[in-house]
Amino acid sequence: MTSVPMIDEILAEFLQSGLGIHVGTRNEQLLPAGCRATAIKVEDDGRHVVVFVPKSAAPAVFENLRTNGRIAVSMARPADDRAAQVKGLMMFSWDANPDEEALARAQWAGFLAQLDGIGLPGIATSSWRVFPCRAVRVKVTAVFNQTPGPDAGAALP
């Protein structure tokens, strides 16, 4: 039996279009920790994603993922603030290979182009340490709309 995808093709296209991505985690005392992510890849089954997290990110983020695996991935398009959030559980992680790094760089370039489009040229183009990345594979447990407004937080689709 084929499982119903959590993320359909339309949403997958949006999530992989070069967005501002942030990862939320927490420790055993439920203290949150987060970081910026470079890119995201939605797997064909629509039930798993791979999040590319800069290896330079705070050690607490990786430590939290290692100990409890709970993760929230928030994504927003700077041009119109359309946003979504994926909740899930980290399955495992690895150093991104060259092909994955190329995918991440393409998405990052798209994100920077969007920033440029809203009048933030030059920001983060050179000084942010978003490469190399750790690829974090996540089993998706829920997807939410996060576009600002009255129904932000409603489950998708």
Interface residues with other proteins (CB under 8 A) are 20, 22-26, 30-36, 54, 56-58, 68, 70-74, 76, 78-83, 85, 87, 118-120, 122-130, 144, 146-153
Q: Measured from the CB of residue 67, what is the shortest distance to other proteins in angstroms?
A: 11
The pair of structure tokens assigned to 32 is 């949150």
Contacts of 119 (CB under 8 A, 6+ apart): none
Nearer to other proteins, 12 or 23 (CB): 23
> Distance (Å, rounded) from C-alpha 3 to C-alpha 9?
15
Closest CA to 74 of 149, 144, 139, 135: 144
Q: Which is nearer to other proteins, 43 or 145 (CB)?
A: 145
Residue 42: alpha-carbon gap to chain centroid:
10
Output 2 or 57, the one with its CB closest to other proteins.
57
As measured in angstroms, the least distance from the Cβ of 128 to other proteins is 5
